[in-house]
Amino acid sequence: MECVVQGIIETQHVEALEVLLQGLSGVPKERVRVHELCLKSGPNLGVVPSEVRLLCDLAQATPSWTIRHVGGAMRGAGAEQISVLVRTVVESKASKNVLHYFYTLGYKLDHEILKIGFAFRFHRGAQITVTVTSANKMPRLHATDEAMPVTPGIQLVEITAPAADDNYNDVVSAVTAFCEFLAPLLHLSKPGHSTGIVATAGAAAASLMSSGGGKTL
């Protein structure tokens, strides 16, 4: 399982967010360049459609592939009362032949994007990953070198943390608490429930950049 929240931030404020995250985490950022392919099952695989994502990490010297399947979100009264989405996720490393393998099974490519940005991975009550990326589309199939931003002025911020049946409440609390530090710059909520740009982002970004913000908090 994983706990996840998302938000958007104007590209002009991303540098300030990076300064803040550096200070909060105390770890160096990691470069993100991920080619994400979304595959959907064909009719030969049953009447219930399934979706799988193949992630190719292009930031590494030797690109590596990961299969990722996102399951259903936790439901019930308890799930409605928390601001973090808790969902099942299955990931597995794969060889470079994985795309051909899924095509052979009967899956079809639905869409592909290139995510470019950075990430911070650290422990703060839970193992938290903050990813800041722009989504880029390809003019031709798999032409990652020609990718262009889908929304040039906006970037996606995603916070995730692994969880289990016996500790997800603690992880939710840790993620919620961390989100409070970022509140002056962006709203973070369950995926699909974006509340837009924060009115205080400009002033908060200017304050962070003027103070340097590089100290670990």
CA distance 35 to 56: 5
Instruction: Say how far apart CA 115 and CA 151 lie, in whole Å.
Output: 12
Which distant-in-sequence residues (6+ apart) come within 8 Å of 212 by Cβ? 19
The residue assigned the tokens 């470019």 is 116
pLDDT at 216: 46
CA separation for the pair 202, 11 (Å, rounded): 11
pLDDT in tens, the chain (217 residues): 999 999 999 999 999 999 999 999 999 999 999 999 999 988 777 777 789 999 999 999 999 999 999 988 888 877 788 889 999 999 999 999 999 999 999 999 999 999 999 999 999 999 999 999 999 999 999 999 999 999 999 999 999 999 998 899 999 999 999 999 999 999 999 998 877 888 889 999 999 998 765 544 4
- What is the predicted pLDDT for the residue at 112? 97
- For tokens 């994400």, the residue is 36
Could you tell me which CATH class the domain 2-210 is placed in? mainly beta
Q: Where are the domains of the chain?
A: 2-210
Distance CA 169, CA 72 (A): 18
Taking alpha carbons only, the member of 45, 142, 44, 60 closest to residue 93 is 60
**Torsion angle of the four alpha carbons 151, 158, 59, 22, in this order, in degrees rounded to the nearest 10:** 110
**Alpha-carbon distance values, 129 to 11, 13, 123, 175 (Å):** 20, 19, 9, 10
CB neighbours of residue 61 within 10 Å: 5
**The pLDDT of residue 213:** 55
Contact 17, 182 (CB under 8 A): yes
pLDDT at 194: 74
Q: What is the pLDDT of residue 217?
A: 47
Predicted model pTM: 0.91
